Structure 1
Amino acid sequence: MSSNSVSSMIPSFSTRLFMYTLLITVFQLDSARELFDEMPKRDNVSWSTMIAGYSHAKLCHEAIELFNEMISLDIVPDNIALVSILSACAQLGELERGRFVHDYIRSNGIRVDSFLTTGLVDLYAKCGCVEIASDIFESCKDKDVFTWNAMLVGLAIHGKGLVLLKYFSRMVAEGVQPDGITFLGVLIGCSHAGLVYEAQKIFNEMESVYGVARESKHYGCMTDMLARAGLIEESVEMIRGIPGGGDVSAWGGLLGGCRIHGNVEIAKQAAQQVMEIKPEDGGVYSVMANVYANTEQWDDLVKIRRSLGANRRAKKITGSSLIRLNGH
């Protein structure tokens, strides 16, 4: 390889300086953006790094605006920029913008490798287009664990548990080593589909068969699933087996199951644990109010509502989900 060829692969000093500064200011994106704006010449590496920083920090609108500016200046984005913008679109539910990026990839003849395939699968799966995500997934010849995980998680969040288990079996059969995200997706999919036995089997095999350590999020998923299935005692035993004790997600899952099945005593215990771990979580008061109302324990209902009013730190976080389509 000639010296000119080698030098052409080395980023310019300004680009390397920008990339280094962005790395050390990963949570100071305003400073990084100031440096970016002051650069006399910005190549696609600089643009891509800034877009990736915004996307990683979940500043998705900023990432999309910068990508639009990049395209308007006829600067060709690399795969890092494309995957980052697909991730930003997926996080916002911006299906139309994501489709624009996909069309841009096709119209410019950009090779879709496993890295880019993962971004596309993640976008379409999270936006509800599971069939399109599956088609893109199947077209990839060099799928890695991240590509498989994107497909598995997409199936999981849409409750396609049986299909997910088939994909997981294929993944293992093709020699792809699953990781913690793989198992989280599988457990969530089983939970949404009510596949308790299958989830228990896979959970028990995580360490012994696949060599993947169980983490608190895996335990939390199992406790939530068991409790929602009415297996309250099994859920309690699962929490007792968590190294270091249960976290908010584990106790919250147990509390949710108790609400469904009217187990007041264990609901009280779970609620107390949540309040101790996260006293600002006002949602626990609402759940307990529902528990008391469903069991007609009106005195306790009044007490829990008064407690919520007295706790100035408690805030109820409202859940939301959205997708943008046809301008709406």
Structure 2
Amino acid sequence: MHPPHRHPILLVLNRCKTLKHLRCIHAKLTTLGLAFLHPSPTFTKLLYTFTLLHPLPPTNSIDYALSLFHHIPSPSTFAYNLLIRARTLLSSPFQALILFARMRRLSIPPDYHSFPFALKACARLRSQPLGRALHSQVLKFGFATDLFVHNTLISMYASSDSMHDARSLFDEICSCDVVTYNTLIDGYVKAGNIILARKVFDKMPQRDTVSWGTLLAGYSQMRQFEEALQLFDRMLESGSRPDDVALVSALSCCAQLGALDQGKVIHQYIKENRAALNVYLVTGLVDMYAKCGCIDVAAEMFESAPHKNLFTWNAIVVGLATHGHGERSLQYFERMISLGVRPDGVSFLGVLVACSHAGLIDTARRLFDEMESVYGVARELKHYGCMADLLGRAGLMEKAMDMIKSMPMEADAYVWGGVLGGCRIHGNVEIAEIATEHLLRLKPEDSGVYSIMAGIYANARRWEDVARIRRVMDDRRVRKNVGCSLIEVEGTNHGFVADLNACSVN
């Protein structure tokens, strides 16, 4: 007879990869009688294996985890920790905290794993009061000096928008590890304070891949693209191997800057250091090449990818639409739908832009109508702005105004800007005046609105109104928008700003 914890069937659990496989082993253990002869070690082992499955089981599988837990006669601290962790991971953080409270009511002593799991649940809920209550329990049980617990406390306060408390905890630690630094950097990045994140990064005695990737992603999110690429270059010089987060962030920065040469260098690095491209890197490459205007290369990357997700499809649809390949973008969108990939707001924005470039008015209106009714995608201001631009270009000014009246929210500058642009093309002075009134209320310092309206009046030979618009512009001291050009030379981006003194006012 094998001891219950050494039975060959239980040892197979170490190689279990899927929930289906786990259920099969559970069934075998039941038929062998082990589940009834030795319920505590058997069901604890099954529950432990459940928490290690990767990728995570679906959310509704929590019922199975609960059934395993309830079959344990007297659950230990370890068993409670496993279920609390499962609850937190499967989007049930509140239930995880209820379980922790039940554990405390039953006088089952928490250990240095119990608090991190419970604190992660608080972080998911962004509940600072609950987090503070758990912090007091940490102090009561003497786990405040445990580095794992301390790091989780910093993460909890950072997730609860309390960077002051997170920083205070960081300063209390005598010997921080790299995880402590990374946690604080991540908190500052999520709070949008990239300056303090960089200061902490620069003070690190040693850095790992996560340190570089977190700060790089922060620069990208804050649209400080050049700083991000400089950091990426420094990362490579230091000998650190960038992970997927760093590589995708760097590719995104290249896409935003139009830095094709740098994007190609990163692509070459990926070829030399990755055995295969995963879906995240493929998406980053498709997006980079598409936004840099290399449409054929982007399409080639897309077609060669063995796995694609929604973001990959969006990258090619939006990239094609942005560069005027309307018909082709629409074909990819329709292909995406036919393959069962559900579109989101970005998908529809891309295809509406595609329809605008291709002049496909009826198709755009049909898709706009189907967004909510067929696909369950809520219309946002950006979608209304795209439709206003499309209808304006087509001269359907009354249709555009009817759409604005039916909007569930107030139109923004992009919506009215689309209407004004259409009025400029088709010379509709009456609606242009309405659009201008709204735009000047929203953006009174935008010189472009005054210039467009003056041009519309001039085309209609209403010279007194032209003079009036210019007087209003002078009275309000509105300055002309500064033009800027960006060009990449030998991997370096150079910006050129127009000299306003050399510009003549038309």
Fold equivalence (TM over 0.5): yes
How far, CA to CA, are the matches of 2:490 and 2:453 in structure 1?
40
Q: Distance in 2 between matches of 1:106 and 1:22?
A: 30
Does residue 182 of structure 2 align to residue 19 of structure 1? yes
Partner of 2:285: 120
What is the CA–CA distance in structure 1 between the aligned matches of 2:489 and 2:338, rounded to whole Å? 38
* Counterpart pick for 2:318 among 132, 142, 153: 153
Structure 1, unpaired ranges of 5+: none
Q: Residues of 2 paired with 1:63 and 1:258: CA distance? A: 41
* Partners of 2:320 and 2:479 in 1: CA distance: 32
The residue aligned with 1:164 is 329
* C-alpha contact (below 8 Å) 2:326/2:357 kept by paired residues: yes
Partner of 1:237: 402
Aligned residue in 1 for 2:445? 280
Q: Which 4+ stretches in 1 moved above 6 angstroms? A: none
Q: What is the deviation of 1:327? A: 5.3
- Per the normalisation by structure 2, the TM-score is 0.61
- Displacement of 1:165 in angstroms is 1.2
User: Match of 2:370, SS?
Assistant: helix
Larger Rg: 2
Q: Distance in 2 between the 1:78 and 1:327 partners? A: 22
Percent of aligned pairs with the same amino acid: 51
Taking the TM superposition and a 5 Å limit, the aligned residue runs for 1:70-89 are 70-89=235-254
Q: Is the 8 A contact 2:185 2:201 kept in 1?
A: no
Task: Report deviation, 1:109.
Answer: 2.9
Quick check: 109-118 or 59-68, which moved more? 109-118
Task: Work out the CA distance in 1 between the residues paired with 2:290 and 2:303.
Answer: 14
What residue in structure 1 maps to residue 380 of structure 2? 215
SS, match of residue 342 in structure 2:
coil
Q: Residue by residue, what CA displacement relative to the aligned partner does 1:296-317 show, whole Å, maximum 9, x if unpaired?
A: 11111011011111113x4543
- Secondary structure, aligned partner of 2:375: coil
**Structure 1: how far apart are the matches of 2:203 and 2:209?**
15
- For 2:338, give the aligned amino acid: A
- Contact 1:15–1:45, Cα closer than 8 Å, also in 2: no
1:324 to 485, 488, 491: 488
Distance, in Å, in 1 between the alignment partners of 2:407 and 2:353 is 18
2:210 matched to which residue of 1?
45
Cα distance change, pair 63–110 in 1 and its aligned pair in 2 (3 A): farther
* Residue matched to 2:222: 57
Question: In structure 1, what is the Cα distance between the partners aligned to 2:319 and 2:304?
Answer: 17
Aligned positions of 1:177-326 closer than 5 A: 177-312=342-477, 314-318=478-482, 320=484, 322-324=486-488, 326=490
Indicate how the Cα distance of structure 1 residues 243 and 19 shifts in structure 2: closer, same or farther if over 3 A, else same.
Answer: farther
- Which structure carries more relative contact order (alpha carbon 8 Å, separation 6+)? 1
Determine the C-alpha separation between the residues in 1 that align with 2:386 and 2:257: 24
* RMSD between aligned residues: 1.9
CA contact (8 A) 2:186 2:214 kept: no
Query: In the aligned structure 1, how far is the partner of 2:337 from the partner of 2:481?
Result: 39
Counterpart mapping for 1:105-116 below 5 A: 105-116=270-281
| TM-score normalised to structure 1 length | 0.93
Q: Which moved more, 1:33-42 or 1:110-119?
A: 110-119
Instruction: Give the Cα separation in 2 of the matches to 1:51 and 1:18.
Output: 15
Residue-by-residue CA offset, 1:93-147 (whole Å, 9 max, x unaligned): 1100000000011012343111111110111001100000001011112101111
Distance 1:321 1:253, change over 3 A: farther
C-alpha displacement of 1:221: 0.5
Deviation at 1:61, TM superposition (A): 1.1
Equivalenced residue count is 320
Name the amino acid aligned to 1:25.
Y
Cα separation, 2, equivalents of 1:319 and 1:22:
36
Flag structure 2 segments of 5+ consecutive residues without an equivalent. 1-13, 16-51, 53-147, 152-175, 493-506
**Residues 325 and 105 of structure 1, relative CA distance in 2, 3 Å threshold:** same
Counterpart CA distance in 2 for 1:138 and 1:317 is 41
In 2, the alpha carbon distance for the partners of 1:145 and 1:18 equals 33
Counterpart secondary structure, 2:239: coil
- My pick for the range that moved more, 29-38 or 104-113, is 104-113
CA distance in 2: counterparts of 1:241 and 1:130, whole angstroms = 37
1:320 Cα offset (Å): 4.9
Asked if 2 retains the 8 angstrom alpha-carbon contact of 1:227 and 1:256, the reply is: yes
| Alpha carbons 2:186, 2:215 under 8 Å: kept | no
Residues 31-75 of structure 1 deviation map (CA, whole Å, 9 limit, x = unaligned): 111111111110111111111111111111111111111111221
